[in-house]
């Protein structure tokens, strides 16, 4: 019997808790959910379930070569998921989290997860969205990519996400139009000096006001970032040839 997706109107305060509970249940079963973020809608799965991450990648039509980033609900979770975090990265997190900034860090080698071909890194972000943070508080870290099929525009509404992902998603949390498909700024914090690998919502000048040594995007990376838009939460590891262009 085909699975039937559930859509919950989370703009209604009376339904918000119901939506979070339904999403939490689906995630615990290794299924995917669509959730709002501060940029666009994302498709999320349990970051610690390889099977769930595989379901997420299949829903998007994506290979393991483009692993999803991980959204976290509190800044201190960064130290549970990453090692050798430079002080400059901590300063950026303190200044811009929650917000549209993704940090690529060395992943904790002891973690039992499989996000794809990460080459020992993990891309972390804390979104500035109340519903997303409430869900993350209930579930813990989630692997989240843009709620779209690979190569298609980012979904700024649940209706757009449903058109592309349909019944591959168990629960859709509808929190209204996100209105912007501008990506998060991605910073590689595994190199010295830290460098921007994809410009996004945060201007370089604002970032350099916190970390003056932050290097701008290299010309070769600028060419790669002109590829078809992906969206809210999708990044490749630092050495990848074609990083996702939105997140």
Q: For residue 239, count CB atoms less than 10 angstroms from its CB and return exposed for 0-12, middle for 13-18, buried for 19 or more.
A: exposed
**Any binding-site annotation on 198?**
yes
Please give the pLDDT value at position 220.
Answer: 63
Report how far residue 116's alpha carbon sits from residue 134's, in angstroms, rounded to the nearest whole number: 26
pLDDT of 222 above 60: no
Q: What is the pLDDT of residues 32-58, one digit of tens each?
A: 999 999 999 999 999 999 999 999 999
Question: Contact, 52 vs 27, CB < 8 A?
Answer: yes
Task: With CA atoms as reference, report the closest residue to 40 among 207, 205, 200, 196.
Answer: 200
Please give the pLDDT value at position 182.
Answer: 78
**Any binding-site annotation on 62?**
yes
Compare 225 and 126 and report the one with higher pLDDT.
Answer: 126
Please give the pLDDT value at position 199.
Answer: 95
Pinpoint the alpha helices (H) of 61-157.
78-81, 87-96, 130-139
**Any binding-site annotation on 121?**
yes
**Any binding-site annotation on 102?**
no
Please give the pLDDT value at position 244.
Answer: 44
**Any binding-site annotation on 146?**
yes
Report how far residue 106's alpha carbon sits from residue 100's, in angstroms, rounded to the nearest whole number: 20
pLDDT of 236 above 70: no
Residues 6+ apart with CB under 8 A from 238: 104, 119, 121, 188, 190, 191, 197
pLDDT of 153 above 80: yes
Please give the pLDDT value at position 179.
Answer: 74
**Any binding-site annotation on 39?**
yes
Q: What is the pLDDT of residues 47-89, one digit of tens each?
A: 999 999 999 999 999 989 889 999 999 999 999 999 999 999 9
**Cα 3 → chain centroid:** 25
- Report the DSSP pairing between strands 101-107 and 121-125: antiparallel
**Any binding-site annotation on 125?**
yes
Which own/partner pairs from 191-195 qualify as long-range (CB within 8 Å, at least 24 positions apart)? Answer: 191/238, 192/86, 193/88, 194/86, 194/88, 194/89, 194/92
Pinpoint the alpha helices (H) of 63-146.
78-81, 87-96, 130-139
Q: What is the pTM of this model?
A: 0.88
Domains, the chain: 6-224 (3.90.870.10)
Q: What is the pLDDT of residues 186-206, one digit of tens each?
A: 999 999 999 999 999 999 999
Q: What is the pLDDT of residues 160-182, one digit of tens each?
A: 999 999 999 999 999 999 876 67
């Amino acid at each position: 019997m085909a699975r039937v997706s559930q859509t919950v109107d989370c703009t209604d305060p009376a339904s918000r808790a119901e939506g979070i509970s339904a999403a939490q249940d689906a995630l615990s079963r290794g299924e995917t959910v669509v959730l709002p973020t501060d940029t666009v809608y994302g498709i999320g799965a349990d970051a610690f379930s390889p099977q769930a991450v595989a379901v997420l990648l299949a829903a998007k039509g994506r290979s393991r070569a483009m692993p999803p980033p991980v959204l976290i609900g509190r800044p201190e979770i960064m130290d549970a998921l990453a090692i050798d975090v430079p002080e400059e990265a901590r300063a950026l997190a303190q200044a811009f989290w929650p917000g549209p900034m993704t940090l690529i860090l060395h992943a904790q080698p002891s973690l039992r997860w499989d996000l794809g071909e990460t080459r020992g890194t993990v891309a972390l972000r804390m979104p500035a969205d109340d519903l997303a943070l409430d869900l993350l508080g209930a579930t813990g870290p989630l692997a989240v990519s843009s709620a779209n099929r690979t190569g298609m525009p980012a979904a700024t509404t649940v209706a757009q996400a449903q058109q592309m992902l349909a019944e591959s998603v168990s629960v859709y949390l509808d929190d209204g139009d996100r209105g912007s498909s501008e990506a998060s700024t991605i910073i590689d914090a595994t190199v010295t000096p830290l460098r921007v690998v994809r410009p996004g919502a945060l201007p370089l000048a604002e970032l350099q006001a916190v970390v003056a040594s932050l290097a701008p995007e290299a010309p070769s990376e600028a060419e790669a970032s002109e590829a078809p838009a992906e969206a809210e939460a999708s990044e490749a590891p630092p050495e990848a040839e074609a990083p996702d262009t939105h997140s």
